[in-house]
Amino acid sequence: MRSSRIEVSGVLVSTDHYIDGQRVSSSETFELLSPIDQQVLGNISEGLDEHVEAAIRSANSAFPSWSSMSAADRKVYLDRFADEIGKRSDEFCRVESTDAGLLLSRMRHGVVPRAMLNIRWFAEHALDLQNRPIETEQAHHRVRHDPAGVVVIITPWNSPLLLSTWKLGPALAAGNTCIVKPPEWAPLTCSLLADAADAAGLPQGVLNIVQGTGGKTGAKLVSDPRIARVSFTGSVPTAKWIAQAAGANLVPCSLELGGKSPFIVLEDADLDGAAATGALMYRNAGQVCLAGTRFLVHERVAEAFVARMREHVKQLAIGDPRDESTEVGPIIHPRQIERVEGFVQRAVAAGAELLWGGSRHPFGAQYFQPTMLTNVKQGDEIVQNEVFGPVLTLQTFADDSEAIELANGTDYGLGGVCYGETAHATDVAERVRTGFIWVNSFGIRDLNAPFGGIKRSGIGREGGDWSFEFFCDVKDVVVPKKPFRASFSHR
């Protein structure tokens, strides 16, 4: 079949699926817009039943050979895959900045290096998987991590390259074959990943990319009984549907979902440091699940903190994400900015007070001003529900107990930030119910550490051994130390 390509910021990108090592077009397409200016980037092949079927068959066919390789042999392929991502670094940066609105500076210095590390690190870590003996009085136990089978990976639009490789790294290193369903609002860097995998010589069928919408393509993938695992990052409503569809076949799901994380500023906090970190919550136009969006500030320092943070926010450069001086870029899609705007308008109508922002930014239709709302109540929609835009709330508290009660007072539990004297802040942080929390810092991540949320923020953990626990079937091979004689006797 034909292979269609479009030019995006000077880079030619295929708009077709990647199945069994080949580009495959579709008779149906969907339109892709750039969040920067809403210009049409092209028409993307839509994954139909035939494409889903072909991808599953391809991944199933490739599984016996790929899974039977040693981890060391797979590592050779995956190291080449990481190399190819590096060779295409500039292309990934320019395309994702145009396609998803991510800051070009962030892509160059953070996302692409991390994407390469995601592949390399898990390939290296897999070498140790089968060498973990447990010795007991009666037997030698050898714990194996066997690949589960065909894995479906569904990634969100706020960081497609980073989050695709975050899942592909351990899934492929463990010996699974993968089908990636990219986000329909930002699918192009996943298409470039297919080019990198092809150039690296990954065997046909080991990695497949099927583009499309969640309701059509995603639904077919997650409900197929031949799928062994589903790994999803995205919204709570979509996760509920995926869990139900996969559950019908008893397929395990890893779900990394939304956040409504607290940003706690204690009375003994470094207010300058907290305010500077607070301004980072507007990064990627607030489209970051782990951002601290609910500011909880001790009442005695609230006025001083607000004044300091206001100054930092005033200095934020808002504009085209392809300009390396830009610090806040666009909202991904017209539907999303309407959602963000609606949250703010309803909050103000309900009595919330705007400290700054509150409306679209004059730079362009897809840009929203960094916004802070106060005079909000714990039960308000703006406090309880994820906005996923550059909108924060501020509440005050009188003591640690109230701060912890407010912090734990939503259905979410992904992350958090706590600023204060180190021992004090650590004590408070340990009582906040989240999957992780940063003390006097933000965004420190290590691939050895677990990542994930509790409550409506998700199920399972990613990173380190936790990723392999999900993507593998864990088996205990038991060899007795003494000759074993079967007996019904309990003597």
For the stretch 323-333, what's the b/e string if a residue is b when 16 or more beta carbons lie within 10 angstroms of its beta carbon?
A: eeebbbbbbbb
Q: Could you tell me the sign of the dihedral formed by the alpha carbons of 362, 363, 368, 370, in that order?
A: negative
The three-state secondary structure class of 468 is helix
Alpha-carbon distance of 277 to 275, in angstroms, equals 5
Mark whether 256 is an active-site residue: yes
Token look-up 């953070």 returns 110
Q: Name the packing angle between helices 464-471 and 160-173 (round to 10°).
A: 70
DSSP string, 6-39: EEETTEEEE-SEEETTEEE--S-EEEEE-TTT--
Alpha-carbon distance of 115 to 107, in angstroms, equals 10
Nearest to 210 by CA among 235, 191, 236: 191
Alpha-carbon distance of 174 to 74, in angstroms, equals 9
Residue 158 identity:
N
Among 84, 256, 327, 386, the active-site one is: 256
In 176-260, the DSSP E strands lie at 177-181, 207-209, 229-233, 253-256
Count the neighbouring beta carbons within 10 Å of the beta carbon of residue 477: 12
Report yes or no: 200 and 173 within 8 Å, Cβ to Cβ.
no
Pull the structure tokens for residue 456. Answer: 């409506």
Among 93, 190, 289, 418, the active-site one is: 289
Task: Report, as residue numbers or ranges, the catalytic residues.
Answer: 256, 289
